[in-house]
Structure 1
Amino acid sequence: MKPKTLHQPFEVHVADMDCWNERPLIYHFFEIVRIMDGTGTRETNRNRFPYRPGSIFLFTPLDCRGFHAETPTRFCSIRFSEVFLSEFKSEQDKERITNWLKQLETIFAHHNRFEELLIRNENDCRMIASLIQHLITEYEQRQAHHKENLRHLVTLMLNVIARNVEVGGPAESNGTREGLINRVLLHIQRNLANPEKLRVEYLARHFHISPSYVGEYFRKYTGESLQSYIATSRIRLVAQRLTQSNLTVGEIAAELGYTDESHLSRQFRKHHGTSPMAFRKGLAQVA
Structure 2
Amino acid sequence: MVKKNLYKPIEVEYKLVEECPLTKSNYTFFQILYVISGEGFAIINDHKTTYRPGNLLLFVPNDHHTLDVPKPSEFLLIKFNRNYLNTTKTPENINSLIHYAPDLQGCILQNEDDKLMVKNICSLIVSELKNGTYNHNEPIVMHFLNALIFITTRSIITNQHVLLTQNSEVRIQKIISYVQEHIHFPQKIKAEIISEKFGLSKNYLSHYFKNQTGETISRFIMQHRLKLIEHRLIFSDIRVNEIVDEFGFADESHLNKFFKKHKGVSLTEFRKKQNKLA
What TM-score does the superposition give when structure 2 sets the normalisation length? 0.68
**Shift, 1:216, TM fit:** 1.9
Mapping of residues 116-127 of structure 1, within 5 Å: 117-118=109-110, 120-121=112-113, 124-127=117-120
User: How big is each residue's C-alpha offset from its partner over 1:189-237, in whole Å with a ceiling of 9 and x where there is no partner?
Assistant: 1111112222222222222233222212222232222222211111111
Aligned counterpart, 1:78: 78
User: How big is each residue's C-alpha offset from its partner over 1:27-49, in whole Å with a ceiling of 9 and x where there is no partner?
Assistant: 532111223444889979x9x99
1: CA distance between counterparts of 2:138 and 2:259?
36
1: CA distance between counterparts of 2:19 and 2:206?
42
Match of 1:128 among 100, 121, 130: 121
**Shift, 1:130, TM fit:** 2.0
Q: How many residues align?
A: 267
- Report if the CA contact (8 A) 1:106-1:189 is conserved: yes
What TM-score does the superposition give when structure 1 sets the normalisation length? 0.66
Q: Give, as a single letter, the amino acid of the residue that structure 1 aligns with 2:28.
A: H
3-state DSSP class of the match of 1:121?
A: helix
- Report if the CA contact (8 A) 1:192-1:257 is conserved: no
Report the more deviating stretch, 176-185 or 219-228: 176-185
Aligned counterpart, 1:264: 255
Match of 1:182 among 168, 173, 178: 173
- Report if the CA contact (8 A) 2:76-2:122 is conserved: no
- Seen in structure 2, the aligned counterparts of structure 1 residues 109 and 169 have a Cα distance that, compared at 3 Å, is closer
3-state DSSP class of the match of 1:208?
A: coil
1: CA distance between counterparts of 2:219 and 2:148?
33
- Report if the CA contact (8 A) 1:26-1:65 is conserved: yes
Gapped regions of structure 2 (runs ≥ 5): none
Mapping of residues 1-287 of structure 1, within 5 Å: 5-6=4-5, 9=8, 10=11, 12=13, 14=15, 15=17, 19=21, 28-36=28-36, 37-38=38-39, 53-61=53-61, 64=63, 74=73, 75-83=75-83, 85=84, 97-100=86-89, 102-109=91-98, 112=101, 117-118=109-110, 120-121=112-113, 124-134=117-127, 137=130, 154-162=145-153, 177-287=168-278
Report the more deviating stretch, 184-193 or 196-205: 196-205
2: CA distance between counterparts of 1:154 and 1:145?
16
Gapped regions of structure 1 (runs ≥ 5): 87-96
More helix by share: 1
